Structure 1
Amino acid sequence: MKVFVLVIFFFLLLQSCISSVDTIMRRQSLRDGDVLFSLGRRFAFGFFSPGASKLRYVGIWYAQISKQTVVWVANRDRPVNDTSGLIKFSSRGDLCVYASVNGTEPLWSTNVSDSISEPTLAAKLSDSGNLVLLDSVTGRTFWESFGHPADTFLPFMRLGFTGKDGLDRFLTSWRSPEDPGSGNFTYRIQRKGFPQLFLYKGVTPWWRPGSWTGRRWSGVPKMGRGHMFNISFVNNQDEVSFAYGVTDASVITRIIVNERGNDQRLTWIARDERWNEFWSVPKENCDYYAHCGVNGHCDPTTSETFVCTCLPGFEPKFPRDWFLRDTSGGCRKKNRAASKCRERDGFVKLERVKIPDTSAAGVDMNITLKECKQRCSRNCSCVAYASAHHESEGGAIGCLPWHGDMLDSRTYSNSGQDFYVSVDAEELARWNRKGSSGKRRVFLILISSISAGMLLMVIFFSYVRKQRKSNRNKRSSTAFIPSSFDFEDSLTFEEDEERNRESPLFELSTIATATNNFSVQNKLGAGGFGPVYKGVLQNRMEIAVKRLSRNSGQGMEEFKNEVRLISKLQHRNLVRILGCCVELEEKMLIYEYLPNKSLDYFIFHEEHRAELDWPKRMGIIRGIARGVLYLHQDSRLRIIHRDLKDSNVLLDNDMTPKIADFGLARIFGGNQIEGSTNRVVGTYGYMSPEHAMDGQFSVKSDVYSFGVLILEIITGNKNSAVYEESSNLVGHIWGLWGKGEAREIIDTLMDAETYDVSEVMKCAHIGLLCVQESASDRPDMSAVLFMLGQNAIDLPSPKHPAFTVLRKRNVKNGGSSGCSFNDVTLTSVQGR
């Protein structure tokens, strides 16, 4: 007996003295600065600090690449404050992270359910990046890091649920590149209904990779089965999980969920010492979950600028909102009055589709697609069906029927599967006609091309005759157009013809008569461009005339810019230009007349502001958002307004907002979203910091201005107002927000019975997100409109806004160097 005890003693002593390359034994520990390498030195385990952070975390990273890339973090939500940390086993056999050598309460533990008594317990780091708690003699495994992922999905790791250990493995993003704490985004398999992958933002679906097709996730066309990857999916009573492997061990690849909510596949390029992005989603509008609403369908392959349609047999629930690109209301079944159940007339086949959310879809893997159609036809509640595995070895198998609303379907250009939607005979005939029309498309294109050529010739000769006649008339008149006013600049012949139709030249005498010779009684106001007058043409049409003043900082370039832009933009929430007048020294723009003047006329005057209840204010906010979204995304041109403010938002009879004044706007290319200038333009109080300070402007510059507008509409106060604790309204609201007293900002003149405090606070929250100091933190306008349209949504916490520091007031000059003036428009570094 003594001999046996002595042998055990020497064995344990020997084990405690051995320092294995890839293993920590039970009686060993790892201090900050010590690093454990896997056997092939592919991965390392130890303490690290991300980026510029001084906090210390325990994690696993690639050992063979120059740029430290962490793939797993133990104490991600409880870091060590200094370099005193220690990794060692507890008396129960758990591997733990302690804040110091003498620490008793661990910051993190493997937290194995049962106490482990084996003296040969060890923690081993494998070349796959998996840290395993095991018996070093028998190989029995008690815990592994692959069962508790962070933000990274490595080859041979498994995501999903396994009944054997009861674990549901999913990814959780970092909070930021310097904070590996649990972030807002999670990536997991949803087992409800027919299993599918989901990327969530909080508890809200963000992107849906879809259901398993037999070879790939339906929403990841680039995934597939390449020669480099082996992909496996298990779906049975005991396990629903997904894994992938690499056939070439030299390939270093990973899938991550980053802090911005993107799912990325990255591969290390050794010769360039960089990570190459193989794919990243979501990217386009159709990627975002339910972008087109309930029973809507997203098709980015269409030639139309608007990618949303209703599924066959459905129509917009709120047609007016749908027309304005607000699809949050979704679609409803046509012929809703028909309550009698009748046999189906047929199904419309949609090709290359990511099928809708299968959370509520039942599945039968034992029938064919033909049998699936028959079963759906006999069931009055069945609205659509598809095969469960359309890429299986034996062809399409299984049946997926839908019996209620459908969400998040879309079309791909070269992927997806067939999807069958139940329709009545009338709808089926319409879709059949639509399909057969495609067969005649080539012939029609040919005929149309010939006709268009002949029509252009006729137009050209008519245009030449018209110009000759016009030139003769102009030579006999005192009116002339300066040579600097070159309408032909950067315009094609067709664009010039369109401009002439939409923006005709008015004679000075006509405008003078309409405005009673620009009388003071007809003057509506004045801006940076000059005075604005009301006029009435001979046909009794009411107009608004912007007359460029001689001392205006805006000149011919702004004038041409506005004519060139606004004549090409058509949207309910943009003001409509009727034409222009250029004679002698006069330069004027003629617009539709809007009787309710501009937004500042209402929100900054108590007697008018009381007329704006919350529904009207919310309608104005949404209308402005739709107009800006059209400029940024849905128009033929990508436009950045650069001077969005209350005085540039006009209101019609129904209080519908219309964005005006495009003299400072800029046109961008199809994919361009930012630019720079040496000529800073905009208005103090609405100008983003990157524009005001560095001359950098982008779509996010308009988002900043829109955020200021939201906060002004809610409060009824100008942003230029100075408060005791802040230089402006934004800073005042930010201070109250931090103290949980933000509801105090609500305009007291607004009827309390017309609003829900939570809805107003949601808008204020969105406003603060829009005015964040960093442009990259601000949402784009599509995200803003989505947030405005959702009743219950998990919004991110806003970061510190720009221009909120209180500066000392200059009482002598009656001003403040830290204040912003809403009524001054900049066209250079100096105000004018």
Structure 2
Amino acid sequence: MRLLVSSTVFSSLLALSLMLGLCVCMDSLNQSQSMSEGERLISAGGKFQLGFFNTDNSSNRYLGIWFYNIPSKTIVWVANRNKPLNGSLGLLKIEHGTLVIQDNSGQAYWSSNTRSLSSRSTTTKLLDSGNLVLKYDNSETYLWQSFNYPTDTMLAGMKLGWDFKAGMEWQLTSWKSAEDPFAGHFSYSMDPRGFPQLKLFEDNITRFRSHPRFGGINTSFDSVITSIFVYDSQEAYFSYDLHDQNSLVRFLVNYTGKVQHYKWNTQTLDWTLLYESPSDSCEEYAKCGPNAVCVIVNAVRTCECLPGYVSKSAEGPDTLDPWYSGGCIRKSPFNCSGPEGFKRVKRVKLPDLVLFEMNTSMTLKECENMCLGNCTCTAYAHPFESRDKKGCVFWFGDLLDIRISNAEYEPRELFVRVVASELEGNSKRRKGVVVAAAVILSVCSAIFCLWASWRRRRGQGVRLDVHAGEEEKFELPMFDVVMISQATNNFSHFNKIGQGGFGPVYKGQLPNGQEIAVKRLSETSSQGLNEFKNEAVLIAKLQHRNLVKLLGCCIEGQERMLVYEYMPNGSLDSFVFPGTTGGSCLLWRTKFNIIVGVAKGLLYLHQDSRLTIIHRDLKASNVLLDSKMNPKISDFGMARTFGEDQFLEKTKRIVGTYGYMSPEYVVDGIFSIKSDVFSFGVLVLEIVCGKRNREFHHPDHNFNLLGHTWNLWVEGKAHDLIDEQMEDSFPLAEVMRCIQVGLLCVQKCPEDRPTMSSVLLMLDSESMRLPQPKKPGFYLERIPDGINRRENTAKEITITLLEGR
């Protein structure tokens, strides 16, 4: 619990102001008003108040929100948590559609980072929910709200999770200590990978995972609240409502690393702790390691191997040392051609949803047969509370973070796959398993047989000639031509989703329901077998959430195909540029997250992968977007690798796309990581502006987008670059920082451009002072003739020049 009282270490002026206890007797401020220290806003129903506060033994002051009608000052939100006032008196006011905290000298300590393009007047209001909102007068549409920027406390009506369309995440972050609101080490957020789950992190390490909730929108979690879980293509979040709207309830991420649930006790006039997580050692994430289950017996933790598994230790016992966390391994490998079955583990917290699939149309028996037919399936479970509802979840690989639960609300059962020798000695059951296996093996469905064939062939290596005289064997699943043909409806025109220099791209679906994208090398392709081999070898080794995932390839006869994970939202260019489907319709938060995601992907290629990889063809059409609008860099056919001590290379074979290639590469054939940085800078400016670099036109000059941006920067008008179709309110400072980063990346000299690690630091830090950019490459006016106009109406293509100067 955290209770705060006033300090006595202030200057006499500040102490006098606080003792006066002045109160703004209203719940809102308009743009002609301000609120100073000692004054407060009180919500209309008298539930919350907003004001400046300080903690014990500190002269630092913060703007915060706390409960109004209880004796203890329990802070639920802090505005300037990372930049406190210290000295001059603070002031809250509205300037140009932005809510700001300033001191007497006008220095800003915090702002809502909004920008209103309208001349309408704005108002900030404290609601009875505890939400501080900024809105136009006489409007219920919020330009900004504190509920979108939680600190360490969650109130009823707040959300934890993601708004995929806006690219916004809601999460709780602990205080640094009981007396310091600075952002601490613990955060509570929704992991959007796979099926969303709430997790407690210490920095980037998972410490606790909540029970996954698959089906409930409204679930009566306890006698105090009704929990709400929403998961669709637009949002994934947890929220809650109160059974009694007059009760005071809060969730808190404590600085010690606990997620706590409090309710105000009107009898004792104190906060009552209803529960906290992790509540025991079994709730600590994956405490027993993989393929082990955690059990509390007589208040003592015990780790036990799942059925069919033994300890990794030399003795291999089924029961582990209570403090052993090495986990378990299989006693015997799976034998897909022999009888196998499942053992049931009751009352479990289902494993972490990392490598899994979900089906909502199968019966439990169908789930069992499906898992048996897939050699990589290790377990399955019915995910829903109601057994009348169809569906199952399949796990692949190791099973993590499982515990036996005594809670009545956890009736889940996990069916763990085991070989026949591990099944109980029930002849009838064993016979049933054998019969089931025989039926599965004899199924005459062509699709199922092809799928099983593909599964058996997974892991077979292929040998490809990467560069002249160099061969490398790598693990990559192989697909049959017949299977891919069936998956794509015989490469139907209706399944075609794109066309590149490599050839056509088709959408398909495997027999197990997984959606795929198939790149088929065309006989007339401007890219040939070398590019195919290069992409297959390179991307097979790359594992990063911002790089597209290669599932396998097909090499049969004259066919050369690459099979990728399917990206349902297509390429970035279809969202950014006008004139294309959905052009320029992204909110700024989504655009910024895409910029950061691409930067992270490039950083991995340049620095974190085993070899330095230069992409050489980064552009908007080579950035794909998954269902949650996460960006993934694709198309590695032109990529090159550098050795540990190699920094640049010269080539006579210039490849890439006009408008994205760096000057030293186009002119002299020299490429390095700074070539990719240049391409990234172009991409950033295109995202901000909503126009392509080479197709950009302005009535007053003939510069491309880079030249136009530079001219605006020199004139101090860089804000004019911002896409006119952007939403009414967005963080102007963040957009301007992206413009400056973009210009730094497209500077003419490679040595002037930052590395991707520096780029990410500049994007992430609001207080970092960025260097002033120099003139960009290709700062020349185009010749305003018919040739130029024809050039700019041509489609974007990837070019290959055989001779570089």
Structure having the larger proportion of residues in strand: 2
Q: What interval of TM-score do these two structures reach, taking the shorter chain for normalisation?
A: 0.3 to 0.5
Structure whose CA Rg is larger: 1
